[in-house]
Amino acid sequence: MADWNARQYLKFERERTQPSADLIARAASSLGGPPRSVLDIGCGPGNSTAALRRAFPEAELLGVDRSPDMLARARSLHPDLRFAPCTVPQGLAELGRFDLLFSNACLHWIPHHETLLPALAGSLNPGGLLAVQMPLTQRSPFYAALAELIREPRWQSLQAVRLFHNRPPEETYDILVSSFASVEMWETVYEHVLPGPESVLEWYRGSGLRPYLDRLPEAERPPFEAALLGRIRGLFSPRADGSILLPMPRHFFLAWKEEK
């Protein structure tokens, strides 16, 4: 997959940052005290890392990502924070251990959660906390429309795209309890107010639509997006002010490593 485009991603910065802020608030109220060390996994353009700094001003804080474009943007926007390239979980051992591992809208891009989540436990200090948010893509109306579209003969080659690797919440729980002392889970559905169906397409150009567009020849991208937009228009009814509501279901969990 081609590198991320940080500018495209940040077109909906406030909406994308809200789940991060909610997860930080829940983590802060669940920790026994301020963490001394915090790792932001999949920091992107640094908006979540900056929120972590505001919440934990005394902590040693590091944001990591595998995208050069995201890291360049993060360093530009937040020159006072530390960022580094890292592929997870392979590069975790080089970073040491932390009191808080934080990951907002990242882990669903990484395969093999049956080994990924135990590896994250290994990067925590005793009594440390793993705090994670992942979109529930299987409940997203956008991805349902996308799945229908790529069943059409013209776009069937796109069925080879394997996008997300998150498990159903109950399977994630079963994986977590083998490596963590206790686990909390919850779900939130965010209703994002957008100007219209075209904005839905613009949102996903910065995330889940990217691998599909990367796979298509450049000349095929406009007709593909036009066909997808036609399906998106059928999903949303304009509200009283002409806006539409984009539902975004998200899964959160906290997992504590055993004290020793």
pLDDT, tens digit, for every residue of 35-45? 999 999 999 99
CA–CA dist 202, 15 (Å, integer): 13
Percent share of the chain, pLDDT over 90:
80
Rounded Cα distance between 158 and 16, Å, is 26
> What's the longest Cα–Cα distance across the chain?
59
DSSP state of 83: E
Sorting pLDDT into bands at 50, 70 and 90, what band is 7? low
Mean pLDDT, range 149-175, rounded to an integer: 92
- What pLDDT is attached to residue 14? 80
The edge-to-edge listing of strands for the beta sheet with 124-135 is 83-85, 60-65, 37-41, 98-104, 124-135, 244-256, 182-194
pTM metric for this prediction: 0.90
- The interaxial angle of helices 141-149 and 221-233, nearest 10 deg, is 130
Region 217-237: mean pLDDT is: 94
CA–CA gap between residue 67 and residue 60 (Å, rounded)? 22
Instruction: Calculate the average pLDDT of the chain.
Output: 92
More confident position, 137 or 78: 78
Task: Please tell me the CATH superfamily of domain 6-256, with its number.
Answer: Vaccinia Virus protein VP39 (3.40.50.150)
pLDDT higher than threshold 70 for residue 6 = no
d(CA 176, CA 172): 6
Q: How far is CA 106 from the centre of its chain?
A: 4
What pLDDT was estimated at residue 162?
Answer: 74
Q: Tens digits of per-residue pLDDT, 106-136? A: 999 999 999 999 999 999 999 999 999 999 9
Between CA 21 and CA 129 the distance in angstroms is: 16
Looking at residue 9, what is its pLDDT?
Answer: 46
Task: For residue 80, give the 3-state DSSP assignment.
Answer: coil
Q: How confident is the model at residue 4 (pLDDT cuts 50, 70, 90)?
A: very low
With vertex at residue 73, the alpha carbon angle to CA 68 and CA 76, rounded to the nearest 5 degrees, is 125
pLDDT at 177: 97
Strand extents, DSSP E, the chain: 37-41, 60-65, 83-85, 98-104, 124-135, 182-194, 244-256
Instruction: Give the residue extent of every domain in the chain.
Output: 6-256
Of the pLDDT bands very low, low, confident and very high (cuts 50, 70, 90), residue 3 is very low
**pLDDT recorded at residue 183:** 98
Residue 1 pLDDT greater than 80, yes or no: no
Instruction: Read off the DSSP letter of residue 7.
Output: H
The secondary structure of residue 177, as a DSSP letter, is T
Mean pLDDT of 11-34: 87
Contact residues for 225 (Cβ-Cβ < 8 A; gap 6+): 201, 213
Which residue is associated with the tokens 């889970």? 185
Residue 178 Cα to chain centre, angstroms: 24
The residue to which tokens 């997860």 are assigned: 23
